[in-house]
Structure 1
């Protein structure tokens, strides 16, 4: 059994993708630890339902539901505005939302959906919420990556798979991008009160396979056979969000609540800086943390 979550009383935590799977479990446990929770779902209905379920399971839980389609940069900006209206500081930001899109589609912004949701969304949201993170005595940015990042490199000449697309490869590169972003964010925030770490939750039985085609159904069926439970998969997210053991630790990649080595491609500092610059251009980010 995992150790009890350290007290988060008086702290405000925001979690994206918190209506199901490891996001919901992490949200529930952080609320149980006393955190004031801002819970983000793709729709008002799913966010409200998740908040209701947490309140039913955790007596006295302080849960504020929010919703945004994270494939839309306009909705991400609207979400950040709503967060700023609800709190003057943020102690923990968990970038958990993500998906696997087996066929190539584009977001409302004309960006390949996997790259838009899995990488650009946390990149943009983190930037927009930096003033709130800076207002906390110490803050943590936790980004859910994946062991699937191994075996690929960033293809800067075709980041969106316009000339050649594989849903699985796109997912792998988006998870590599999560780690590169985390490392570069940690480098740029060195000496500040904010830390940034990424993690592999394990192969978890969740709703990450959003694809409604036969390929998506096959992937979900396989997940049901071989994956670990969301409760087990959420443990490292909870650890990074709450444990005093990782206070001051930044730029690391965790599996099973331990810092481990990630792929060589994910440690490429030049690639991390280049990805940062490309992402800033694609999101119109004006604020620079350098």
Structure 2
């Protein structure tokens, strides 16, 4: 159980930040995927309200990230804010961004992997990886591993479990496991345990003329976020670092700008309550800040509380397999055991 069982679907992130102000004050925190009117923007604004030592905003577009940084500086002039450009669909950009972060600080108390992509047509990262899997999982996998020395440095002086990695997933993970045999969705045969839910409801079953199923691609990337979290939690606990995955809820943001009217209508049929961006930041902040999470075994949160993901997203063997695949796709091995 979390320390505030009364927190739920409609709890604003601003309230969570106030409750856990002591866990924010003086900390060095990095949040990816920060742009105006987004969950990321609400997350950093709520963090800024409680006087972090250094707040690093990372995103793809300089003008958009600067707009949020300026909002923070205007509202909370005492907070040090830095920006870092990163395209999670480019491993070269990720490596450059990690070096930029290391030039700003020698420690990182909290890393929030908030960024993500939703696409409705077949696209690829610079390395030729299917865009949603490459940006939503492989990108954060590489960035997190490159930043681990800074996280370990913070963990040397923080209480055990106070140094944290938060990965934003989605309830959409339930529609598909990671398709190890066909992660690029090229139409290769997959065993039943890797196949998506059948039948997919309504417009979720739509595919492009070349056979690409965008919802399946998105779902497998979100399952990967949770499996990645499992690996981090298993291997970093001895270093004093905790990791959690979250479903932030359903929020109307620019993340869904590529969805057509038919797909948007399908979502509105299924989802009863659409959160504000402030409410959408609350579960992320609980995962990043609540000390009670260290006392209870769990790794996936929704509506500010622990919940269970689908079976395919909590399989330790699948988590190990994903780690190895991810290392292959970034061309580097990362040792986090111990």
Q: TM-score, normalised by structure 1?
A: 0.93
Query: 1:228: Cα distance to partner?
Result: 1.4
CA drift at 1:151: 3.2
Please report how far the alpha carbon of residue 56 of structure 1 lies from its aligned counterpart in structure 2 after TM superposition.
Answer: 1.7
Residue aligned with 2:58, SS: strand
Q: Deviations over 1:114-164 (max 9, x none)?
A: 011100011000000000000003410000001111132221110011225
Which moved further from structure 2: 59-68 or 179-188?
59-68
Q: How does 1:15-30 map to 2 (within 5 A)?
A: 15-20=31-36, 21-30=38-47
Measured after TM superposition, the shift of residue 91 of structure 1 is: 0.1
Deviation per residue, 1:54-101 (Å, 9 max, x gap): 212223222111111110000000000000000000000000000211
Q: Is the radius of gyration larger for structure 1 or structure 2?
A: 2
Report the Cα distance in structure 1 between the residues aligned to 2:238 and 2:122, rounded to whole angstroms.
Answer: 40
Give me the whole-angstrom Cα distance separating, in 2, the residues matched to 1:31 and 1:68. Answer: 21
Which 5+ residue runs of structure 1 have no aligned equivalent? none
2:133 corresponds to:
115
Q: 2:73 aligned to 48, 52, 55, which one?
A: 55
Structure 1 residues 25 and 249: alpha-carbon distance in aligned structure 2, compared to 1, 3 A threshold:
farther
Paired residues of 1:183 and 1:251 also in contact (CA < 8 A): no
Q: Distance in 2 between matches of 1:231 and 1:98?
A: 18
In the other structure, the counterpart of 1:236 is 283
CA-based RMSD: 2.0
Note the residue ranges of structure 2 that are not aligned, 5 or more in a row.
1-10, 188-210
| Deviates most, 128-137 or 243-252 | 243-252
Report 1 or 2 for greater relative contact order, CA contacts < 8 Å, sequence distance ≥ 6: 2
Q: Distance in 2 between matches of 1:57 and 1:172?
A: 37
Q: Which residue of 1 aligns with 2:228?
A: 181
Deviates more, 1:134-143 or 1:71-80: 134-143
Aligned residue number for residue 239 of structure 2: 192
Residues 269 and 74 of structure 1, relative CA distance in 2, 3 Å threshold: same
Q: Does 1:134 align with 2:152?
A: yes
Are positions 1:9 and 2:56 aligned together?
A: no
Matches within 5 A, 1:1-290: 2-3=15-16, 4=18, 5-7=20-22, 8-20=24-36, 21-35=38-52, 36-136=54-154, 137-138=157-158, 139-163=163-187, 164-211=211-258, 215-216=259-260, 219=263, 227-247=274-294, 252-290=299-337
Displacement of 1:287:
2.6
How many positions carry a matched residue from both structures?
287
Tell me if structure 2 keeps the 8 A contact 1:106–1:112: yes
TM-score by length of 2: 0.80
What is the Cα deviation at residue 9 of structure 1?
1.9
* Cα offsets for 1:8-61 (capped at 9, x unmatched): 222100000012311110111111111110001212111111100121222322
Taking a change above 3 Å as real, the CA distance of residues 219 and 231 of structure 1, as seen in their structure-2 partners, is farther
